[in-house]
Amino acid sequence: MTQIDRSPLVYTDWTVIETEFVPELLNSRETVFTIGNGYLGTRGSFEEGYAQSQPATLIHGVYDDVPIVYTELVNCPDWLPLLIIVDGDRFRLDQGEVLSYERQLDVRRAVLSRTIHWRSPSGRTIRLHFERFASLADEHVVGLRCQITALEADAIVEVQASINGYPENQGFNHWEQLGQGKTEHGVWLQVRTRTSHIELAMASSLSLSGAQGNVQVTNVPGYPTLTTTFTAPAEQTITIENLITIYTSREVEAPVQSAQSKLAALTNYQDLFDAHEQSWAEAWQQSDIVIEGDLRAQLAVRYNLFQLLIAAARHDDRVSIPAKTLSGFGYRGHVFWDTEIFILPFFTFTQPHLARNLLTYRYRTIQGARRKATYYGYKGAMYSWESADTGDEVTPRWALPKDPYGEDIRIWCRDREIHISADIAYASWYYWQATQDDEWMRDYGAEIILDTAVFWMSRVEWSTRYERYEIREVIGADEYHEHVNNNTFTNRMAQWHLEKAIYIYDWLKQTQPEKLGELCDRLKITSERRSRWQDIATNMFIHSHPSGLIEQCDGFFDLEDINLEDYEPRTKSMQEILTIAGADKAQVLKQPDVLMLLYLMRQSQESPYSLEALEKNWNYYAPRTDITYGSSLGPAIHAILASDLNNTVEAYDRFMQAVMVDLEDTRGNADDGIHGASAGGIWQAVVLGFGGVQFGEEPFAHPHLPPGWTRLKFRIHWRDQWHEFDLRADPTTPKRTMTSSDIQGVIFDLDGVLTDTAEYHYRAWQRLADEEGLPFDREANEALRGISRRASLMKIIGDRVYSEAQIEDMMERKNQYYVDSIDAISPTDLLPGVLDFLKEIKQAGVKTALGSASKNARPVIEKLGIAEYIDVIGDGHSVERPKPAPDLFLFGANELGVDPAACVVFEDAAAGIEAALAAGMWAVGLGPVERVGEAHVVLSSLENVHWADLRGKLQQLAKAERTAELIR
């Protein structure tokens, strides 16, 4: 595993770690730590609750109306509440004292965990370890586990596990209570939405191990609770396991009975989690992307793919992925073009059965699209800009102004942003091309494409003056301009749509004549209408210019041309700065429009796409696009197009802007939920942009790997076959030859180099060994220098056999003993000479990193008072392979942005020296020659060592090596 310092988040290959609780980040982190399984999504709220929290469990398809105002995805009863009372004090993060805190989302296993060392207001000290999962193996099951350890003294602990039947959507409660009760296995709750009348039932069980305690039932109305009270002996871990089953009337006739029966049939938490973990292993087998050389990008990509995977329904083709997935209240759970254009390709090429479900949702809701077309006076199917369960338009007509005294803002997207019908046809077509799923196209896709073609036929206008078809009064992909004529994106997509409708018509006529006849009768399609489609497609007006520059819409080039750089630095969108009316009169874009069209035509190389057209239009439109504060949909698309133009620096910048939008809340709106379209665009940016994948009879790659990426590996499913791509950086790229004057980075081990916590580690291991009856002494402890906690434990265990759960428990216990012991560490614990040496390096302008196997390196550095001298922290969260593998030091070099050959490592362990040499770095050993003699330079300590002198030694060694190389 590997880590990055993005305080207070730490990133590893597969995990996102929060090492400090910051109340101001409460809601955005609830989004970040969302879990789910394709049936439901649960935000990362705390089990014990917290003021201003926004807990939510959102279930696909469970929509209800707020009277008159809008339709929204409903916040379902909360299955998380777990109240813990220790000797009369309720555990909460805003009470007592938090001694240590860590929350971790493991996206490989889809489990959210949290470990807290807490002292109650009355002085009781406990360690709590929470974890939760939403089963991918059985979507109706979620699980919660809490491990409680009383420290220092016995404690009386009460645990209450509840179902909260009064959830709210930001102040509105959609549920009416129908019933609740208890069974042999636990408690249950039954509720129903107020207007859509969807019933939901939850059933909950509670088990206790490691202590004696009975489970009691309390049936407070709307809040059924299971309670147990027990004595927790000091230093003994007690485990609470809470299993919950969830059903709605959307999938079963009797949700209460189904929830109760499922609960009664469940085995135990660990078995359920094992099945869940296996299902995720299978999902990642198809969908994972491996990036080597850039840890931050590696984790961020996997994180975004995880958020997509937990949002896609596996067994329901009546729902789609909302713009904010199932992670927040943003956009009220409505479905946009985001799904078809940005999200769907990931599923089409890695999980095609899920892509099929998502597209079939558009077929299931086509009646809503027909109702919308009729409402506006058109024929066929006109898909809604925002859709929910029925497909009817649910975009609000008005938005409230930010100024409380301002006028309401008219939302024109529902009326004017009509390109979504072509977007859905586009997604349907390319799903068919990738999967050759003729059955789906026959039964579902053809009707979507043909009936929306009927809509375009009724929507276009014939210009007698210019003798061409036009589309007037629209909003294009760029939403800053709301009433335009002949938006090139819309016109070309409509034209493309009609061309493909003609193809589908002819395909059905040749292969499925009975199906074509049935559709023609029902949709009133005649051969004359087919001819009309051809006429419209042939004579549709598309802006063009001999120079290759494409005008976005009628009169766009006549608008005021402003320079966005003149408005920097800024923290809000250009529309906010210029006002809605001002942005409408300027050549400034919210998101790609002409460039978006070029991107969509890129796959088939159809007009107006060409590399020359892309370059010409990129140079014009990219500087005029509000890419930082406009729409989150833009950066990923810009990353792909910049990559096509071999502008890898720009491509990587835009990619990172997209990939970190939620993890680092770069737009300040992560509270609302995950940016689903951005997450989908990230897959496209990596695979189609950096990977350069294009499609012929088979997919092939023309990679453009960003600087620093040494490897990019992924799979693509194309026409019933899996294709493996393992792309590597060009090995012919010359590498710089190292000289000591090139040294730009210094990497320090922690223990034995900067401070000596070996004694603390020894005492913690000794205590654990004594508890387990394992032989261990100071001589054995010497063999643990420089290696990871797990590797150390394996050496101590020897031939003894332990389960993985027991091993994890022992590692956690040892770590807690160590954390407790170093609580009082301070700057006085720095080894002689360290502070002066760090100051000299800082003054010399050399970058510094920590490369320690300890998972507690970060708090130790802070307690030592030297955090300001360390630029990057690499610790035990960091790489899967510990020393003597070079991974940890290579990570440090990468994060410093320094060539490994330009780094020098300071180590006191043989394993560390071996790792430094394997990384191709200079090594300075601190300690006896018999232990660190393989290093380039051996010192007894850093006392009285000066950077200039050491650099001179390395210079002499470098010169000697070059001379020896010339002789050879």
Mean pLDDT over 624-633 rounds to: 95
d(CA 178, CA 283): 37
Residue 404, pLDDT above cutoff 90: no
Sorting pLDDT into bands at 50, 70 and 90, what band is 274? very high
Residue 732, pLDDT above cutoff 70: no
Nearest C-alpha neighbor of 386 from the set 334, 456, 315, 436 = 334
Mean pLDDT over 347-374 rounds to: 98
Q: What pLDDT does 737 receive?
A: 38
Sequence-distant (≥ 6) Cβ neighbours of residue 482 within 8 angstroms: 412, 416, 475, 580, 584
Sequence-distant (≥ 6) Cβ neighbours of residue 749 within 8 angstroms: 786, 850, 851, 852, 905, 906, 907, 908, 909, 912
Sorting pLDDT into bands at 50, 70 and 90, what band is 18? very high
Alpha helices in 365-487 (DSSP H): 366-376, 413-416, 420-435, 438-440, 446-459
Sequence-distant (≥ 6) Cβ neighbours of residue 767 within 8 angstroms: 814, 817
Residue 24, pLDDT above cutoff 80: yes
Residue 16, pLDDT above cutoff 70: yes
Sorting pLDDT into bands at 50, 70 and 90, what band is 800? confident
CB atoms within 10 A of CB 282: 11
d(CA 459, CA 415): 12
Sorting pLDDT into bands at 50, 70 and 90, what band is 731? low
Q: Which of 27-41, 292-306, 767-781 has the lowest mean pLDDT?
A: 767-781
Beta sheet of 223-232, edge-to-edge order: 89-90, 82-86, 155-162, 223-232, 215-220
Q: Does pTM surpass 0.85?
A: no
Q: What pLDDT does 507 receive?
A: 98
Residue 634, pLDDT above cutoff 50: yes
Annotated active-site residue 528? The verdict is no
859: exposed, middle or buried (Cβ count in 10 Å: 0-12, 13-18, 19+): middle
Residue 9, pLDDT above cutoff 70: yes
Residue % of the chain over a pLDDT of 90: 77
Question: What does the block give as tokens for 319?
Answer: 């729902």
| Per-residue pLDDT tens over the stretch 916-960 | 998 889 999 999 988 888 899 999 999 989 888 888 888 778 777
Residue % of the chain over a pLDDT of 70: 97
The pLDDT mean for the chain works out to 93
Residue 738, pLDDT above cutoff 50: no
Looking at per-residue pLDDT, the higher value among 258 and 545 belongs to: 258
Which DSSP symbol is given to 338? I
Nearest C-alpha neighbor of 270 from the set 791, 809, 798, 800 = 809
Q: What pLDDT does 960 receive?
A: 74
Residue 487, pLDDT above cutoff 70: yes
Residue 739, pLDDT above cutoff 50: no
Q: Is 825 helix (H, G, I), strand (E, B) or coil?
A: coil
* Residue among 340, 479, 907, 914 flagged as catalytic: 479
Q: What pLDDT does 734 receive?
A: 36
Concatenate the DSSP letters of all residues of 469-524 into one string.
EE--SB--SSTT--SBSS-HHHHHHHHHHHHHHHHHHHHHHHH-HHHHHHHHHHHT
Q: What pLDDT does 965 receive?
A: 54
| Per-residue pLDDT tens over the stretch 423-454 | 999 999 999 999 999 999 999 999 999 999 99
d(CA 665, CA 632): 11
Looking at per-residue pLDDT, the higher value among 761 and 586 belongs to: 586
Q: What pLDDT does 678 receive?
A: 97
Q: What pLDDT does 198 receive?
A: 98
d(CA 709, CA 195): 53
Q: What pLDDT does 680 receive?
A: 98
Sorting pLDDT into bands at 50, 70 and 90, what band is 962? low
d(CA 337, CA 360): 14
| Per-residue pLDDT tens over the stretch 867-925 | 999 999 998 887 877 888 888 999 999 889 888 888 999 999 988 999 999 888 999 99
Rounded alpha-carbon distances, angstroms, from residue 412 to 418, 420, 479, 494, 578? 11, 14, 10, 20, 19
Sorting pLDDT into bands at 50, 70 and 90, what band is 806? confident
d(CA 569, CA 959): 47
Concatenate the DSSP letters of all residues of 595-608 into one string.
HHHHHHHHTTT-TT
| Per-residue pLDDT tens over the stretch 698-710 | 999 999 999 889 9
Residue type present at position 238: I
d(CA 143, CA 134): 6
Looking at per-residue pLDDT, the higher value among 70 and 758 belongs to: 70
Task: Report the DSSP pairing between strands 175-183 and 215-220.
Answer: unpaired
Mean pLDDT over 36-47 rounds to: 98
Q: What pLDDT does 786 receive?
A: 62
Looking at per-residue pLDDT, the higher value among 803 and 470 belongs to: 470
Which bin fits 378, alpha (ψ -120 to 50), beta or left (φ > 0)?
A: beta
